[in-house]
Chains A and B, each alone.
Chain A
Amino acid sequence: MMNNIKLDSRYAIPAGIKYRYEDFGGIVYRRHDDKLFFLNSRTAIDLLDLASTGTVQEIVGMLGQLKMPKEKIENQVLKILNSLKELGIIYEVA
């Protein structure tokens, strides 16, 4: 069973992942199997931009600086990150 990402986790994007913002959120392209993901969340793309920059908790703080209320997004961020991990778009750094 996959371990969930927690607030003290760090995460990174594997090689071969490309992404960009779109009006509805963003799209992610995974090279190794040519898969395209449509993500209906701009926060998900923000989180990809912030990968490898700190722990999830620190990253939530950075999102706060982007004028997003920390209290409201903490659970949401963990939910998004775990979805991204499940899709193989990010991985947890040991």
Chain B
Amino acid sequence: MKWHDNVVRLQAPVCITWQITNKCNLRCIHCLANSSKRKPDELTMEEIKAFLDDLAAMHVFYINVGGGEPLLHPNFFEIADYAEEKGVYIQFSTNGTLINRDIAKMIAERNLRVQVSLDGWKQEINDHIRGAGTFDKAINAVQLLIERKVVVSVNCVVTKSNIKDLDNIYQLVISLGAKLRLSRLRPSGRAMESTERWRELSPDSQQYVYLYHWLKEHPDVNTGDSFFFLSALGEPLPGLSYCGAWDLTCSVDPQGNIYPCPFTVTSNLLVGNIRNKPLSKWWQELPVITQISGEESPVCTACANYPKCHGGCRGASYLVYGDWNKPDPDCLKRVSLDQQGS
């Protein structure tokens, strides 16, 4: 069986993740995009408008704008206005450090949705990952946005160091009037300087089992479907149970390069560039990407849990094993079998 056979391929992506700039004022140790300075050949406004025109024509519903830090893009609000004019929703991720009263007002006026990053419920945990002073600034940003009635979610990348405090971060976020979103630490960007480094930062198997049960008890916590590999542990988590890369979604980097998802930003998985051809053309002409259309691992297809997780995150498999079709590197099948005494 090919893993791709499990997936309904849409005529256009539901959403796009767009790294609007590589420029960032922080150097988070797990940054998936390895962001730092603006790249010299990032898309021009003219190219960005053509890109947004194309997304609107494809009926893409929304864009997850990330970076880098989107608020460091000199035309961020102009771009948001253009997308709005074209009928494409924008939601963006920010580290929150640049949000003051004026910026909060501009965000509120545009009805943009914001995701503020916070990786711990207290300063020492968060700032160890995101840098000194970032905890206070992120909290301040959330408060300013909530005052303006902006829909805010606080995104926490789950790591070995913060997973034990999920109850605390949940309480903190709820008390601020925001929603909590938890994301999986993918083996990409700075978190993947080496596989050992990623393993060092990632939750271990027992912690993931804990997370599965915690998520079942907190259905109001959004995960962006990033933990569907945990569904192998029992009753499936809500949302997608398979990888939607290049079937439901894709990612575009600041220079217009297209990748199956925001975690697989690697030259081997480069689909193309929107400077050469609009995304809609790439989407139609390349229904399957050769590198990711291979046979599913027999280890997965023989597993009783396969219908619940479909092998997990394909990008994680690729980035750790160099093979899109291997089982998810955090597969907990062994854990569940152990727990059952098999």
Contacts and interface: CB of A to CB of B under 8 A. Distances in A.
Interface stretch (B6-14, B102-110, B142-150, B316-324): B6-14
Contact of B14 (A23, A31, A36): A36
A21 B87 CA distance: 17
A18 B8 contact: no
B14 A38 contact: no
Interface in A1-54: 18, 20-24, 27, 29, 31, 34, 36, 38
B184 interface: no
B7 to A, nearest CB: 12
A36 B60 CA distance: 12
B11 A22 contact: yes
Interface in B61-114: 61-62, 87, 89
A11 to B, nearest CB: 21
Nearest to A34: B222
Interface string A49-84: 000000000000000000000000000000000000
A20 B222 contact: no
Contact of B8 (A20, A24, A31, A34): A24
A22 B59 CA distance: 11
B128 to A, nearest CB: 30
A29 B10 contact: no
Interface string B1-45: 000000010111010000000000000000000000000000000
B59 A20 contact: yes
A31 B11 contact: no
Contact residues on A (Cβ < 8 Å of other chain), bracket:
10 to 19
A22 B14 contact: no
Interface residues of B, number: 11
If over half of A's interface residues share one DSSP class (helix, strand or loop), that class is named, otherwise mixed; here it is: strand
A20 B10 CA distance: 10
A21 B11 CA distance: 9
B11 A23 contact: yes
A23 B259 CA distance: 24
A22 B10 contact: yes
A18 B61 contact: yes
Contacts of B11: 20-23
Nearest to B153: A34
**Best-buried of A24, A31, A38 by chain B (most CB within 10 Å):** A31
A31 B89 contact: yes
B14 A27 contact: yes
A23 B14 CA distance: 14
A22 B9 CA distance: 9
B242 to A, nearest CB: 13
Contacts of A27: 10, 14
A9 B87 CA distance: 29
Nearest to A18: B61
A29 B62 contact: yes
A20 B59 CA distance: 7
Shortest Cβ-Cβ A-B pairs, 6 listed: A20-B59, A29-B61, A18-B61, A22-B11, A22-B10, A36-B14
Given A29-B62, A31-B89, 13 more contacts: A18-B61, A18-B87, A20-B11, A20-B59, A22-B11, A23-B11, A24-B8, A27-B10, A29-B14, A29-B61, A31-B62, A34-B222, A38-B8
Interface of A: 18, 20-24, 27, 29, 31, 34, 36, 38
15 contacts: A18-B61, A18-B87, A20-B11, A20-B59, A21-B11, A22-B10, A22-B11, A27-B10, A29-B14, A29-B61, A29-B62, A31-B62, A31-B89, A34-B222, A36-B14
